[in-house]
Chain A
Amino acid sequence: KQEVTQIPAALSVPEGENLVLNCSFTDSAIYNLQWFRQDPGKGLTSLLLIQSSQREQTSGRLNASLDKSSGRSTLYIAASQPGDSATYLCAKTSYDKVIFGPGTSLSVIP
């Protein structure tokens, strides 16, 4: 069974800290790995997409890495801000399925 897990389930950090969110998946048949942000009551916003041939992608303070052999992806957030507070989901795409992790709920305390 294909599964995607995320650790930790919840995280609370003071403003300014650097942090890492983890995503693990079974089955190395992956086409891309995407990180999303979800704010309460709103839809998902795509943050970064890493193709299976890539190792990492960067956008502003965000950096996502992908290690297919170990079945892991990490999202690194530098210099966290209160506006970063949200739920972060990773999603693994194989040929005909998209499987989401359960998400990490992040709170950045001013």
Chain B
Amino acid sequence: GAGVSQSPSNKVTEKGKDVELRCDPISGHTALYWYRQSLGQGLEFLIYFQGNSAPDKSGLPSDRFSAERTGGSVSTLTIQRTQQEDSAVYLCASSPGVVLARAKNIQYFGAGTRLSVL
């Protein structure tokens, strides 16, 4: 597609349920990033993928959070046993480069998924 696509755009769930958030990056982009933006908070970096592998998962808030990427394209962020503090906007971005540190790797963001845990 022309841009980064995230689905669903809004998700309301009950505490304790599992949710899956999906990100379709720009075609050909090898790097993919997940962020979280809580109400009134700054943007929090969660994880990034180089191809299908995630070199550093330490940004994930807890072991209830996991992410995977298949075929070097679509990524899913899964939150198990959701808690109210998981309520936030989850943003995905992609960039052309493989290495995060590559200086010219401009990140292109999706519109986000707004997660509300009741």
Interface residues of A (CB under 8 A from B): 31-32, 34, 36, 41-46, 49, 51-53, 89, 91, 93-103
Contact status A43-B112, CB under 8 Å: yes
Contact status A96-B100, CB under 8 Å: yes
One of A44, A89, A102 near B93 (C-beta < 8 A): A44
Q: How large is the interface on B (under 10, 10 to 19, 20 to 34, 35 or more residues)?
A: 20 to 34
Q: Does B49 contact A (CB under 8 A)?
A: no
Q: Which of B49-89 contact A (CB under 8 A)?
A: 55-56, 59
Dominant SS among interface residues on chain B = loop
One of B42, B59, B91, B100 near A102 (C-beta < 8 A): B42
CB-defined contacts of B44 to chain A, threshold 8 Å: 100
Contact status B42-A95, CB under 8 Å: no
Complex CA gap A18/B95 in Å reads 31
Contact status A98-B42, CB under 8 Å: no
CB-defined contacts of B109 to chain A, threshold 8 Å: 36, 43-46
